[in-house]
Chain A
Amino acid sequence: MSVDEPTDKAAHIRHLLATEREAVRENTSHFNRERYRASTEYEGYEELRGRAREIKEDAIERLPELIETVRESVEANGGTVYVADDAADANRYVEEVVRDDGDTVVKSKSMTTEEIDLNEALEAAGVDVYETDLGEFVVQVADEAPSHLVGPSLHRSSDDIAELFNDRFDPEEPLETAQELTEFARDYLGDRIVEADVGVTGANFVLAESGTITLVTNEGNGRKVAATPDTHVAVAGIEKLLPSIEELKPFTELIARAATGQDVPQYLSMLTPPSDSPSLDFDDPTTPLSKQGSEDREFHLVLLDNGRTEMREDPQLRETLYCIRCGACANSCANFQQVGGHAFGGETYTGGIATGWEAGVEGLDTAAEFNDLCTGCSRCVNACPVEIDIPWINTVVRDRVNRGADEGQFDHLVEGLTPDEEPGGMDLGKRFFGNFETAAKLGSATAPLSNWLANAGPVRAGMERVLGIDGRRDLPQFERETFRDWFEKRGGAAASTKRARETRAAGGSLVPRDEATREAIVYPDLYTNYVRPGRGRAAVRVLEALGVHVEVPDVPSSGRAPLSQGMVATADAKASRVFGALAEHLDAGRDVVVVEPSDLAMFRREYEKFLPDASHQRLSENSYEAVEYVFGLLENGGDADVLTGPDADDPGVAYHSHCQQRTLGAAAHTQAVLDRLGYDVVLSEAECCGMAGSFGYKRDYYELSMAVGEDLATEFGGVHGNRRVVASGTSCLDQLDDLLDRKPAHPVELLDPART
């Protein structure tokens, strides 16, 4: 489906929320939970991911050589290898093979044949094609696109499928249950398999040295399709090549765990066709299997390029080729869980990594249609079994989409607010959010007038129309006194005696440098500085109470806002400026304490792309999430009693951590610190609040954002309805503000010695 107008996009999402949400949510959350369980239970899972990554890096590096190796081995085994340049080339070859052998094809599940629209090509040539994977069969009968890499029909419930089958096949007894539907499909497709002339499969892996095709299946259809007809055609992208069985090992342990949480698939086929397995002529009533022979067996391996060589040469898209199509990125994605692959996908591929595939295989236009659904929350980063930086691929593609746009009529409206490194013509809303720093500076300087003005009817209407900011959202309220203003002012009279000993008046810390156990910078991120200075003030007081000399220097914004809009060049420039401003502090041995988790994630993760390795390492290693830092201080002898614990009648705390904070492994510290101070803490089970920076402000995505937030609202509004709500991220706080009646706070505000 092509979705050009923003309003169409919102309507399409609304439609999917109404129709497919329930089944998609149930199935993907189930896969996701099972993946967590399976990966935790398997000792050494993380090491396996690293090993799998290395193997893929090496295999893609050696790809041309592996293609030659597999050509030799398959031919030596008696098969044929055809390297197809593109979809048409591949389809033409398969069509010729099929025409030589008959006119009926059975297929096992293959996304690669979906990519080239093989079924359509064969059907146009008069061939009957039957999908035998039950999920693929459902979408074939329904004439739909798969909605998930692993579960093509997971957007449909049993009732849906029963209605579809009863309508289409008109069985004597109407089908109802999953059991009945499965038996019906098995019998129907079983007949098709024994009648078929050609079996077409994909390949999960292709082992170059032996010419072995590895198929991972649960239903057994892949085995039947490969073993029953005489002719077997396997269609695989060239990126599926691995050198040998040795390199396959980590993938056999990873793939099912990552996909469905199974320890091992039901069937892991290691086919080196043409096989010795007897040809089965089911019309022959007398010849036993051992006399049926396998001489008529034919095997064709079609290796598909279709843009992959170019992807390999593209340093940003290259790692897409490491993908083993397990669907873990989709299952871990909060937006995907709500709308599934019919929104979050292109022509063929769905979920987070689909952006890379669609950009490489189809082109930017297709990728652009759903690219905005990636919020960069990074939950897929730890889910991916081959450690692909999927959010980065999404960001790069967003950047390319931005750069591909033409200049628009409204550019002049945001020019003054957008001192960026980006081309004219990009989406105005993106440009506005990407340059949020300018708006924040201006808004704060003119608050409260700016807040009043921004919320006035005509202005909101204009913001919705031109910038796509949804009118149902409360806008951030800018504070007239910024966090840095407060810090500077505070170094006045009250602190003068202590600060007199300072050699220079470098800020307003109440702890003299020469009496401090440590020195730290509290990074004045955009949101803490202009919108939520209270959490900065609390962080300063907490650190000082623990004996840390604090400074709040003038450091530019991190570049998170522009990066989230795909403005890579702007973010890159910001990274250099941030590092420039922090370098002397790092050299002086000061720790960098970051209140906003998405900015900490910039320093630790994304800056790796922008800064020299040594600079990135120095900043990354010395940066801490605010409460993570408190945890470290307490672990090293800090006195917890100087912080504020629960009140006598404390209602307890409901804590929602931040997506990127969890990816960094910096979320558990908050719970540990609150526990240690005696708070009764529950953690949200909902993984994502749905806000994700600017995402939830956008008119196209407002409803999706609220749909994602529903789980959190139910949890914190229901059984935990009396607890004090705390959250680490600005976005999460904004969303909780909208979802709940209670005012949420940052956890460091609970610890604040000045809290009353």
Chain B
Amino acid sequence: MSNVRIAGFGEALEDHGVSWARTDIEGFRSTLVDALVNPAVGVPLGYEGVSLDDAPVTVDPTPAELRAATTGVTPARLGVATYGSFLIDSDAKGSEPVSLYPERHVAVVRESDLVADLPAALDELGDAYAENPASAVFATGPSATGDMGALVEGVHGPKHVHAVVLENR
């Protein structure tokens, strides 16, 4: 994975109001903990070498814990470099509600899952959907509205989004 693409991704994240940190497997836990505002809930990341288990995150929460949480941690299937978007699966683990309900979303994305742009991401999704159609969302920055007469961030979705970019080979 090129550093150019990661730099572009970081710039796009910042343009869309998303804070971010880059870490390797060894530094993952402390980087993640720094990003949490408690109480935190999460879904299993499914990435080799890292896990939420030893962090103060309630993995696989109940709906009540989900509603009470301030932070939700999920993996992102893809990161889109041009826009700083995450592709979040609507999977059985609950990535969709966990990335959506809490005020703060922490998305963990592997460097190897960064793609250049939205058309490239749609290509990947299209290949996958041809085999097995599923549900997912491209999420970019915090939820926002102008409907109340001025721009306000933090509506039905998260008010803050933070990215943890995980180096992997």
Contact = CB atoms under 8 A, between A and B. Distances in A.
Partners in one complex: yes
Interface of A: 23, 27, 73, 77, 132-135, 137-138, 151-154, 156-161, 177-179, 181-183, 185-186, 189-190, 193-194, 209-212, 218-221, 223-224, 227-228, 244-246, 248-249, 252-253, 263-273, 275-278, 280-282, 284-290, 292, 294
A665 B133 CA distance: 45
B156 A289 contact: no
Nearest to A165: B148
B147 A210 contact: no
Given A248-B122, A272-B133, A286 B62 contact: yes
Interface string B116-145: 001100100110011001111111111111
B86 to A, nearest CB: 11
A609 B141 CA distance: 45
Given A134-B147, A220-B157, A282-B64, A179 B133 contact: no
Nearest to A269: B137
A44 B8 CA distance: 20
A290 B134 contact: no
A595 to B, nearest CB: 43
Contacts of B97: 227-228, 277-278, 280, 289
Contacts of B91: 276-277
Contacts of B129: 210, 212, 245, 270, 272
Nearest to A30: B146
Contacts of B64: 282, 284-285
A273 B61 CA distance: 23
Nearest to A181: B148
Given A220-B156, A277-B91, A278-B97, A158 B149 contact: yes
A284 B63 CA distance: 7
25 contacts: A132-B156, A134-B147, A134-B148, A135-B147, A179-B148, A181-B148, A182-B152, A182-B154, A186-B154, A219-B144, A219-B157, A221-B155, A249-B119, A264-B138, A264-B140, A266-B142, A266-B143, A268-B137, A272-B129, A277-B91, A277-B96, A282-B67, A286-B62, A288-B60, A289-B43
Contacts of B100: 220, 223-224, 227
B168 interface: no
A137 B145 CA distance: 12
B90 interface: yes
B66 interface: yes
B156 A161 contact: no
A280 B62 CA distance: 9
Nearest to A256: B140
A160 B149 CA distance: 9
A168 to B, nearest CB: 15
A230 to B, nearest CB: 13
Contact of B143 (A244, A267, A268, A292): A267
B39 interface: no
B134 A267 contact: no
A387 B148 CA distance: 31
A178 B152 contact: yes
A604 to B, nearest CB: 33
A135 B142 CA distance: 18
B56 interface: no
Interface string B30-55: 00000000000001000000000000
B126 A244 contact: yes
Contacts of A276: 90-92, 134-135
Nearest to A76: B133
Given A77-B133, A227-B90, A289-B66, A266 B126 contact: no
A264 B83 contact: yes
Contacts of B146: 27, 151, 154
Nearest to A134: B147
A189 B92 contact: no
A153 B147 contact: yes
Contact of B156 (A177, A189, A210): A189
The residue among A132, A156, A249 with the most chain B CB atoms within 10 A of its own CB is A249
A287 B62 contact: yes
Nearest to A268: B138
B41 to A, nearest CB: 9
B90 A275 contact: yes
A27 B158 CA distance: 24
Nearest to B60: A288
B114 to A, nearest CB: 16
B94 A289 contact: yes
A264 B138 CA distance: 9
A269 B122 CA distance: 12
B150 interface: yes
A71 to B, nearest CB: 14
B135 A271 contact: yes
B98 interface: yes
Contact of B137 (A211, A223, A273): A223
A254 to B, nearest CB: 11
B141 A266 contact: yes
Nearest to B150: A178
A266 to B, nearest CB: 6
A219 B145 contact: yes
B101 to A, nearest CB: 8
A253 B154 CA distance: 24
A133 B147 contact: yes
Closest 7 CB pairs of A and B: A220-B157, A158-B149, A289-B94, A245-B126, A135-B147, A220-B156, A134-B147
A589 B83 CA distance: 52
A599 B134 CA distance: 53
Contacts of A154: 146-147
Given A190-B156, A267-B143, A268-B85, 14 more contacts: A135-B145, A151-B147, A154-B146, A157-B149, A186-B154, A218-B144, A220-B157, A244-B126, A252-B119, A264-B140, A266-B144, A281-B63, A287-B63, A288-B62
Interface string B78-110: 000011010000111111111011000000000
A285 B61 CA distance: 10
B62 A285 contact: yes
A27 B148 CA distance: 11
A133 B94 CA distance: 23
A135 B144 CA distance: 12
Contacts of B94: 277-278, 289-290, 292
A111 B156 CA distance: 20
B149 A289 contact: no
A224 B92 contact: no
Contacts of B157: 219-220, 223-224, 266-267
